[in-house]
Amino acid sequence: MKSGPVEYAVEAAEHDSSSSSSPRRGLSILDFVIRVAAFVGTLASGIAMGTTDQRLPFFTRFIQFKAEYDDLPALTFFVAANGVVSAYLLILGMPLSVLHIIRTGVTKSRVLLIIFDTVMLALLAAAASAAASIVYLAHKGNPKTNWLAICQQFRFFCRRISGSLIGSFGAMVLLAALIILSAIAVSRRPRG
């Protein structure tokens, strides 16, 4: 009867890991799918914004007759942040997510992903909102500060920079979902 407790413990551990690895694997697959979607969103946003420029065929009362994304620092920051987040998702996020599908028991690398995801969420939210506030100003202007809307002159430019915000805001929601999913997965971890 000496081996009784050990047998009991081993049995309990086996039962445990088989009952809790299945929902964990499901969460890991969902995690990977969301990561791919967020990668596509940030990459598309970055490229759409980064390739935006418009030349006008005539002179306006302003001196310039050409609008590019890097005329506005907030839009440059937007392109850089989207590049950083999509690179992170491709190089670190998606490989680790695949590892979690194969090995459901690991916990440390899940916590690592939560840390990176949190930083990336803050970066992306900051970039998307800074760009959005400038895009809003370009559309509406602000009479109180005498900043005039520029979208009358640069229709194509404005449509492009407005559209490129969508992917980024979508990716922001997806990154928040990833953090929440990871937290649930970590809280359900089988006792190793």
Secondary structure element (H or E) that encloses residue 66, with its range: strand 66-68
Between 18 and 142, CB nearer to its own copies:
142
Q: Does 192 bind its own copies (CB under 8 A)?
A: no
Could you give the dihedral angle defined by the CA atoms of residues 35, 122, 119 and 159, in that order, rounded to the nearest 10 degrees? 50
Q: What backbone phi and psi angles, to 5 degrees, belong to 144?
A: -65, -35
Rg (alpha carbons) of the chain, rounded to whole number:
24
115 token code pair: 């840390």
List all residues 6 or more positions away from 191 whose beta carbon is below 8 Å from its beta carbon.
13, 16
For its own copies, the binding residue among 56, 87, 92, 125 (CB under 8 A) is 125
Q: Does 65 bind its own copies (CB under 8 A)?
A: no
| 165: number of Cβ within 10 Å | 20
Q: CB 106 → its own copies: shortest distance, Å?
A: 11
Q: Does 150 bind its own copies (CB under 8 A)?
A: yes
Q: Does 161 bind its own copies (CB under 8 A)?
A: no
Q: Does 137 bind its own copies (CB under 8 A)?
A: yes
**Segment contacting its own copies by CB under 8 A, of 23-31, 40-48, 86-94, 134-142:** 134-142
49 token code pair: 């914004």
Name the β-bridge partners of 66. Answer: 55
Q: Please, what is the Cα angle at 14 between 12 and 20, to 5 degrees?
A: 100
For its own copies, the binding residue among 10, 33, 91, 180 (CB under 8 A) is 180
Q: Does 34 bind its own copies (CB under 8 A)?
A: no
Q: Which residue has the tokens 């559209």?
A: 163
Between 86 and 168, CB nearer to its own copies:
168
For its own copies, the binding residue among 26, 73, 95, 105 (CB under 8 A) is 73
Where do contacts with its own copies occur on this chain (CB under 8 A)?
Answer: 1, 4-5, 8-9, 12, 62, 64, 67, 71-74, 107-108, 110-111, 114-115, 118-119, 121-123, 125-134, 136-138, 142, 144-148, 150, 172, 176, 179-180, 182-184, 186-187, 189, 191
